[in-house]
Every structure is written in structure tokens, then in C-alpha cells.
Structure 1
Amino acid sequence: MTSDTTQTEAVPEETGWLRDKAARAQVVLWDFDGPLCRLFASRPARQVAAELVDWLARQGLTGLLDDAERASPDPHMVLRAVDRRHPRSDLVAHLEERLTREELKAAASAMPTPWADPLIRTWTAVGPRMAVTSNNSPQAITSYLAGRGLLPCFAPHVYGRTRDLHLLKPDPHSLERALSDLGAAPGDALMIGDSPSDHHAATAAGVPFLGYARNAHEAALLAEAGVTRVLDSLQPLLTAVRAHAAATGSP
């Protein structure tokens, strides 16, 4: 792996793999929170999850969650736990709306992942089409991309959370929708994600996967899930894309 601070080159084998993917990928599928930005940079996701649990408690509904779900730092885990007990109910719809509002607020102060913006712009100029396949709200994703001036690189291919919560990753539904809409075969795509659920969804869809890990804990989780290619910086990938562009005379 490489570091944003040292900006060192990837090892030769890894560099070759990245250059090959930069050359071959016709479609790049991005997870949102992680590879593109840190969505809850100003307000921890753990706090959002706790507030969802508190709201359920005020309704006398904490019994819907087990101990692990009540203590989860992931608001998506809370939402999906309730959906498993009361699928497509008004209760789930209300919780999802509350989470969407929090994600929209967070999008305004989200911290861009280092190297992500120039990578997206450079890679789009070379030719591949971009899509977001995420468990986050599509409204929050679109808001963030528009604020960064990146929406033209993706629109209209933003595939976020819907009311069908059972189709969130690790289900491959969002990836398969993106591939279908873009007319791309799984083997011609590349997914960049930061969680085991991203990897599982990519594997189920038949899409090659590149892991991104912000820290050692995330890297360990990806390794445990069987991910063999993990970067802690997108800079080597940007270098590979630029090298491909130079070799092909792309703008």
C-alpha cells in the first residue's frame, strides 16, 4: 500500500495491475462514503446511529433492536435491522427519511478523499464512464458531487439507497443496475470500495474489485473479506491513469 503523505509509488506488480485496470476499465463503479469522500467528517456516523436508536426509544420501540444493533456505530445497520422486522413499513420510511436528512446535511461538509477529484476528472477524460453504487441517499450523493463540480462525470448514473432496503449492498442490485444502464459487461468494469459489503457485491456481480482503506482497521477488514488489492491512497491509481493517458495520447 502507499501513503498520501509520502506519495510513494506502488510496488511494480501493483503498478502493473493498476495500469492494466486503468487501460481496460470501460466503466468505474464507485462506492461513495470512503473512496469519494468522508461523508460524516463533521458529525460522526456513530452519533447519527445513536440518534436513530434514541428516536426509536422515544416511540417505545427499542425492543425492535438487539444489543449489538442498539450499540452499532452504523446508521445503516439500525435502519436495516428495523426493516427486517417491519419491511417497507411507515416506520422504516420515517427512519429512512431521517437518515436521508442527516446525510444531506453531512454532504455539505463532507471531506473529499485525497486524490479522488483529480482522479475522477482525469479518468473521465481518458474515456471510461463513471457511476456511483452506494448505500447512501442518492440525494446526498448528487448534492456532494454537484458541490465539487463532479456531477457531470457521473450523471445520471448515481445508484443510491431506495425503499427496497434488502437490495442494499452486499446485494449486487445497484451494481447490476449501473452495468445494465451503461450497457457494460461485468468484466469490463472496476469497482472501488472500502468495505467488505462492497467487495461481496462486486464478487456477486462478477466485477473486479479494488479496495480503498483509510486506515489499518479498514484494511484489515478488507483483507479478512478476501480482498487482495487494497490502496490507502488513490494517488498510485491517478498515476496509472495519467500514464495510460500519456501512452494513448488522450487529453
Structure 2
Amino acid sequence: MRELISNARCVLFDFDGPVCRLFAVHTAESIAHRLRELAAELSVTSLLTPELRASPDPHQVLRGIARRNPPPGVVHGLEEALTREEVSAAASAHPTPYAAALIAALSTRGRQVAIATNNSPRAADAYLRRHDLAGYVGGRVHGRTGDVALLKPHPDSVLRALASTGGEPHSSLMIGDSTADQAAARAAGVPFLGYAPDEAAAAAFAAEGARHVVRSLEQVLTALIAPTFG
């Protein structure tokens, strides 16, 4: 762990999970339901497969509708609605234990910190400002664009975050809580550290062959700040 973090000149964080629980109060299930209501208002309920009708994941609903060739403007309307819901959720998001301390410690020790997320960058910006973390990230927040096809596991947000730091892939590190984060990091050539706060996440990473996984960011913080002897 110490070698992994010491070699990283740039550290890229996924947002929902490694930085905070975005939907801790304003739940993902309620937002997915709102997107389905909006799909009905836009007369595209025929695009909702049984899986999408039951999904608790608003990103899955958005991506699923986008893949089914909806009329012009539908994806934009759904994405804007999702952005509004995420910005609202940021006000009640729960900080991930040790995330703020890790971000601050990385920045004060000369690392470039950036965010690479499937969430709206407006939501991430709102959370970072609310929790006095924006100065450590320095505007390097890269999230969902209008092109839903570029959501992770596509490496687009990781590549944009990497470019904003000026770092090289091999001397950077991506911290994420999903196998989509892992796949995006791999495609960008960036070493990956999995954050798995529960058994299900740990099992998913193990199934995908993740080499480095932690159950708490305290392990990363300790590796970063612990003194070196000899």
C-alpha cells in the first residue's frame, strides 16, 4: 500500500462512494422513480424494459433509455433532471470516513487530486464546496457530459481528470468503489485501488481480479502519512 500511494503523483477519486455517500438521504431509488415518471411525461415509457422499470439505479435508467434510440431531446431532459436531483442530494450526502482527511493530506503533500465520476460535476462541486474541500481539488472535477455513452466503464472522465493534473498514467492512481471504475482506470492505463466497504463490493473486485482493495480509506491515509525509517 505504501509503495502504491508513494508512487502516485496524481490521485483520481470517483465521487459517490470514495468521497461521500451521495444518496444517503435523497435516495437513488427515489431518483430512479422520478426519471421513470419523467419518461412517462415525455411519452417514452415504451423504452423502459422490465429491468429498467425495476431498477433502483438512476444511471442505469438514463443509460438504458439512451441506448434505445429515444426521440431528440429526451436524453437531455432526463440528464438535466438527474443533475438537479444529484445537486439536491449533495446537500445531504454523508462523508465517506477518512476521505476528507485523505484528500487534504494528498494535496498538502504535493499530489494533484482530481475527481472522475459518472455523477454531475455540479453535484461534486457543490459537495466539495460545502465540505471545504474545493481548494484541494482546484477545479479538477470531471463528471457526466451530455454523451451518456461516455459514462464509466468508458475511460473518458478518467482521461479528462488525468489531463487536468498534467500527470502520466503510470504515476497516477484511481480510487473507485466499482468494477466500472476499475475498467475505466485499466483502459486509461492508470493503477487502481478498490474501495470496498462491504463484502459484496469486495467480492465483485475479487471476481474482476483487482490487485489492491481496501475496506477503509484509513488504510490509505495511514500509508500516506506514516513515517519511513531506514
Normalising by structure 2, we get a TM-score of 0.95
Deviations 1:28-47 (A, max 9, x none): 01000000000001022012
| CA distance in structure 2 between the aligned counterparts of 1:28 and 1:126, rounded to whole angstroms | 12
The 3-state SS of whatever aligns with 2:154 is coil
The structure 1 residue matched to 2:178, chosen from 195, 202, 208, is 195
| CA distance in structure 1 between the aligned counterparts of 2:6 and 2:214, rounded to whole angstroms | 18
| CA distance in structure 2 between the aligned counterparts of 1:70 and 1:191, rounded to whole angstroms | 32
The 3-state SS of whatever aligns with 1:211 is strand
The answer to whether 1:220 aligns with 2:203 is yes
The answer to whether 1:155 aligns with 2:135 is no
Using the TM superposition, give the Cα deviation of residue 114 of structure 1 relative to its aligned residue in structure 2, in angstroms.
0.4
The structure 2 residue matched to 1:85, chosen from 68, 73, 86, is 68
**What residue number does 1:42 align with?**
25
**Structure 1 residues 48-57 or 230-239, which shifts more?**
48-57
2:113 and 2:165 in contact (8 A); partners too: no
Aligned residues: 229
Using the TM superposition, give the Cα deviation of residue 230 of structure 1 relative to its aligned residue in structure 2, in angstroms.
1.5
Using the TM superposition, give the Cα deviation of residue 55 of structure 1 relative to its aligned residue in structure 2, in angstroms.
2.4
The 3-state SS of whatever aligns with 1:51 is helix
| CA distance in structure 2 between the aligned counterparts of 1:142 and 1:64, rounded to whole angstroms | 32
% identical equivalent positions: 48
Q: Which structure 2 segments of 5+ residues have no match?
A: none
The structure 1 residue matched to 2:168, chosen from 182, 185, 188, is 185
The 3-state SS of whatever aligns with 2:175 is strand
**Structure 1 residues 157-166 or 220-229, which shifts more?**
220-229
1:211 and 1:230 in contact (8 A); partners too: yes
Q: Read off the aligned partner of 1:166 and give its amino acid letter.
A: A
The 3-state SS of whatever aligns with 2:43 is coil
Deviations 1:217-246 (A, max 9, x none): 122222222223211111111111111xx4
**What residue number does 1:61 align with?**
44
**What residue number does 1:75 align with?**
58
Using the TM superposition, give the Cα deviation of residue 164 of structure 1 relative to its aligned residue in structure 2, in angstroms.
1.2
**What residue number does 2:11 align with?**
28
The 3-state SS of whatever aligns with 1:152 is helix
| Large movers: runs of 4+ above 4 Å | none
Using the TM superposition, give the Cα deviation of residue 214 of structure 1 relative to its aligned residue in structure 2, in angstroms.
2.2
Deviations 1:56-108 (A, max 9, x none): 23443221121112211110111111212237931111101110111011000
1:160 and 1:174 in contact (8 A); partners too: yes
Deviations 1:205-226 (A, max 9, x none): 1111000012111222222222
Normalising by structure 1, we get a TM-score of 0.87
2:7 and 2:171 in contact (8 A); partners too: yes
The answer to whether 1:238 aligns with 2:215 is no
| CA distance in structure 2 between the aligned counterparts of 1:88 and 1:169, rounded to whole angstroms | 24
